[in-house]
Structure 1
Amino acid sequence: MDDQNKNLILATALSFVVILVWFVMFPPPEQPVEDPNAVIAADGSVPVAPTATAPSAAPAAETGTTTTEAVPDAPRVDIDTARLSGSISLVGGRIDDLKLNDYRETLDEGAPIVSFLSPSGQPHAYYALYGWAPGAGLSYDQVPGSNTEWTLENGDKLTETAPITLKWDNGAGLTFRRTISLDENYMFSVEQSVENTGAGTVSLAPYGILARHGEPEDLKNFFILHEGLIAMADGELTETDYDGMTDYPFEQREGARAEVTQVTENGWIGFTDHYWMATLIPQPGTAFKSVAKYDERRDIYQTEAVMPTLTVAQGSTVATTSQLFAGAKEWATIRDYQKSGGVQGFLDSIDWGWFFFLTKPMFALLHWLNSFIGNMGWAIIGLTIAIKIIVFPLAYKSYASMAKMKELQPQMEALKEAAGDDRQKMQQGMMELYKKEKVNPASGCLPILIQIPIFFSLYKVIFVTLELRHAPWIGWITDLSAPDPSSIFNLFGLLPYAVPELGFLEILSLGILPILLGISMWLQQKLNPAPTDPTQQMIFAWMPWVFMFMLGSFASGLVVYWITNNVITFTQQYLIMRSHGYKPDVFGNIRSSFKRKPKPDAK
């Protein structure tokens, strides 16, 4: 077996290993749900000075004496913008009803709009609420919490140009107000203020909470995608899945599992889904306590941002502002919040993975091509061409080396015959020949090896980023983030029936794109004659069709990339090898692969 074929088989084996690993999936564990209507409240606070006493900012006593079940007829204030719709409950002032107007659940006609946040009492409740933790001179019933009944002081509905103001008077000299505004995308601004008209000075700490009852209904739980807690603390990103939150240290005082991080200057915390995200964002440059919590009694996941303790003198008013991002993880929108809005590291909320140094620029180029071309499928093809141009010097050197190896084949065969069974002598002769002719036998597999991180990175980009979701290309390809919907079982739509559910046999339901992929890989093989070794022959003969079935269930956008890459690679290799004196006999190699081999004579 010559070195070139050994290297090629090694590269192929590595490719198989990488792709097989991607198929590993981790099913989510079932979690008991005891009380889906209860919510844990914030924990801890941040003193404004070393001499200040940090109050207990955990309204845990409140949750022990009241219920957080949403009142069915609670008054609400509508949310009405071009991109968001829903309502805010005046009970607790909760942002707990939110729909993303630009996105549908499926591609079916009349499919419902994506519902993102939902009130307590509904399945998989998910909402944001704000409040104040009592400090010196106050008790929990004197500050607004999760069930406080607010009144609407200003505004009749929340729009991009019209904020609303909620008001609550505790009857003991403190008047609380909450002004909520919303930009043209997904960013809420929440200003909380307290006016002290009573006697004496009080201290209290504002907080924001995101509560999620149970795991998301559509949890993918796929290893290539992060879903769950995501937080930034002074430049350090933390990603913890829902299983990881259940392993937090148990805090007996609160009856929950929690992890507390002191943020000194910039940070945010929330939950990220496949395509959507909700995040609490304190004012940049402000210290706060970042808390991630899981209540195993009620199966509630929670994130909290507890702001610094404020002191309110008699006759004065204090206010604090924070933000809430609740919407789609659009690259351009999130980048703008990072660059113009000062939300440090916000672009890292998109799961770029280990190869972030490849996935980030790769998606930036893909996004630019899509904005220029207007179609994500053609943008993927354009990205493939750009990648091939970048790696062309390496490919040129590799294919030139392969052509040279073909020219040296007669000399290599002569060395093998001269060495006989002396493998050491043969290897020494080969090395001298390579050195004399300035040939690197390992360079032939470099294009295959370099494809592994590129393929993985593009797979990550296509699987993770929202911009590929429901993105059409041509004809029957209406969603580049989903597998090719055509099927060989109904002759790609020519027969008048739908393909039934096939279970594990769905791998056999090949679409047009996977078949084109197999053919393109098979033609690429035919640039070289089949190896003489029977084992190598079998591996090479089956490899295109194995890949065809394996990649048949991958996203269509990834298969489009692979087909385009194969076509460009075939063209490059053919032209480069011809320019160096080796003329690949593609049609001859195809004909030889269909010839029946003579049976050995019986003895």
Structure 2
Amino acid sequence: MLGGSYGWAVILLTVVVRLILLPLMIRQSRQATIQQEKMAMVRPQMTDIQARQKAAKTPDERNAISQEMMKLYKDNGISMTGGIGCLPLLIQFPIFAALYAAIRYAPELVNATFFGIHLGKPNLILAILSFLAYLLQGYLSLLGLPEDQKKQMRSMMIMSPIMILFVTFSTPAALGLYFFVGGLFACLQTLIIAWYRPRIRQQVAEELKQKAASAPKPVAATETPTSTTPTQPTSTPAATQQQQKKRNAGKQHHHHEDQN
């Protein structure tokens, strides 16, 4: 179909695999973006909890504050893993293994060339192109993010392309070609998510607002009901002494009657 070109065959294989995985990968990227936006929305509460956790002096205090952090995550639907899954990578792993085995054991592919690139040997140009493709994908993933989140993700943005560079340069060029074309698809996927990010941010804000509105409000402290029964006037010392004399006189009168 491709005129006997194994290079174009690898590219076609990559395109087919990536097109099959594209809906799943976009869905996963969308979930990860939702988690990022939720984290940004509750960051003030998280900062306060983290500050109190650092200031905690006893294990009981730290445990209570940790439970408070977990409750914050649960109430706002935030995943501890950030919505990042490994299913697309697991699906591609058999493709890696099969392609690597084909490169090693198929003489036609081992000796094939593609635009002057020997597909059975490592190639520095493809390694650099793969590195740049995934570096671009990492840069695109930072579009629309707040500065604090960008700082946290920059290290990951560099580490992933470096790993791709190492793997691509240490494997045959046919596998490097697979990584390079896959990196271009990753850039396309990231651009789609970046286009949807404002809508996702608005959706998350409305969801958190509805949860806050439907959350049970704290019950106000009940006041002790005041008695409607009129209180007796407080007796003065003079009135108290007069009442005491009347009681004593009454007792003496009853005592004389008993004697009589």
TM-score using structure 1 length? 0.27
Correspondence for 1:379: 9
The answer to whether the aligner puts 1:460 opposite 2:101 as a matched pair is yes
Distance in 2 between residues matched to 1:546 and 1:564, nearest whole Å = 16
Shift of 1:569: 1.3
1:406–1:582 Cα contact (<8 Å) kept: no
Greater length-normalized contact order (CA 8 Å, ≥ 6 residues apart): 2
Cα RMSD (Å): 2.9
Distance in 2 between residues matched to 1:444 and 1:527, nearest whole Å = 20
Distance in 2 between residues matched to 1:520 and 1:547, nearest whole Å = 10
Larger Rg, first or second structure (1 or 2): 2
Structure 1 residues 432 and 461, CA gap change in structure 2 (3 angstroms): farther
Correspondence for 2:138: 525
The answer to whether the aligner puts 1:565 opposite 2:182 as a matched pair is yes
1:403–1:577 Cα contact (<8 Å) kept: no
Distance in 2 between residues matched to 1:423 and 1:450, nearest whole Å = 36
Q: Deviations over 1:130-151 (max 9, x none)?
A: xxxxxxxxxxxxxxxxxxxxxx
The answer to whether the aligner puts 1:472 opposite 2:113 as a matched pair is yes
Secondary structure of 2:114's partner?
A: coil
Structure 1 residues 582 and 433, CA gap change in structure 2 (3 angstroms): same
User: One-letter code of the match for 1:425?
Assistant: E
1:470–1:481 Cα contact (<8 Å) kept: yes
Distance in 2 between residues matched to 1:411 and 1:423, nearest whole Å = 19
Q: Deviations over 1:463-509 (max 9, x none)?
A: 222331211211x21x312222xxxxxxxxxxxxxxxxxxxxxxxxx
2:130–2:176 Cα contact (<8 Å) kept: yes
Secondary structure of 1:532's partner?
A: helix
TM alignment of 1:33-52, pairs within 5 A: none
Structure 1 residues 582 and 379, CA gap change in structure 2 (3 angstroms): farther
> Share of identical aligned residues, percent?
25
TM alignment of 1:266-281, pairs within 5 A: none
Distance in 1 between residues matched to 2:80 and 2:67, nearest whole Å = 20
Distance in 2 between residues matched to 1:553 and 1:576, nearest whole Å = 32
Distance in 2 between residues matched to 1:468 and 1:381, nearest whole Å = 14
Distance in 1 between residues matched to 2:33 and 2:199, nearest whole Å = 6
User: One-letter code of the match for 1:460?
Assistant: A
Shift of 1:440: 7.9
Distance in 1 between residues matched to 2:119 and 2:88, nearest whole Å = 26
The partner residue of 1:411 within 34, 38, 41 is: 41
Distance in 2 between residues matched to 1:415 and 1:373, nearest whole Å = 61
Q: Deviations over 1:415-442 (max 9, x none)?
A: 313433223321221123127xx99833
Distance in 2 between residues matched to 1:391 and 1:559, nearest whole Å = 19
User: One-letter code of the match for 2:176?
Assistant: V
Q: Deviations over 1:39-87 (max 9, x none)?
A: xxxxxxxxxxxxxxxxxxxxxxxxxxxxxxxxxxxxxxxxxxxxxxxxx
Q: Deviations over 1:235-256 (max 9, x none)?
A: xxxxxxxxxxxxxxxxxxxxxx
- Name structure 1 gaps, 5 residues minimum: 1-370, 485-510, 584-603
Distance in 2 between residues matched to 1:528 and 1:372, nearest whole Å = 34
Q: Deviations over 1:352-398 (max 9, x none)?
A: xxxxxxxxxxxxxxxxxxx4453110111111010012222311210
User: One-letter code of the match for 1:392?
Assistant: L
The partner residue of 1:482 within 108, 121, 144 is: 121
Distance in 2 between residues matched to 1:473 and 1:412, nearest whole Å = 51
1:482–1:555 Cα contact (<8 Å) kept: yes
2:134–2:186 Cα contact (<8 Å) kept: no
The answer to whether the aligner puts 1:432 opposite 2:71 as a matched pair is no
Distance in 2 between residues matched to 1:547 and 1:425, nearest whole Å = 39
Distance in 2 between residues matched to 1:427 and 1:454, nearest whole Å = 38
User: One-letter code of the match for 2:151?
Assistant: T
- Name structure 2 gaps, 5 residues minimum: 54-64, 143-148, 201-260
1:397–1:443 Cα contact (<8 Å) kept: no
Correspondence for 2:125: 512
Correspondence for 1:551: 168
Secondary structure of 1:441's partner?
A: coil
2:7–2:119 Cα contact (<8 Å) kept: yes
Runs of 4+ aligned structure 1 residues displaced above 6 Å come to: none
- Give the count of matched residue pairs: 181
TM alignment of 1:118-517, pairs within 5 A: 371-420=1-50, 421=53, 422-434=65-77, 441-474=82-115, 476-477=116-117, 479-484=118-123, 511-517=124-130
2:119–2:173 Cα contact (<8 Å) kept: yes
Distance in 2 between residues matched to 1:582 and 1:555, nearest whole Å = 42
Q: Whose helix fraction is larger, Structure 1's or Structure 2's?
A: 2
Distance in 2 between residues matched to 1:439 and 1:558, nearest whole Å = 33
The answer to whether the aligner puts 1:574 opposite 2:191 as a matched pair is yes
Q: Deviations over 1:529-572 (max 9, x none)?
A: 37535xx7545434423431342131111000000001011102
Shift of 1:448: 4.0
Structure 1 residues 577 and 455, CA gap change in structure 2 (3 angstroms): farther
Distance in 2 between residues matched to 1:538 and 1:410, nearest whole Å = 19
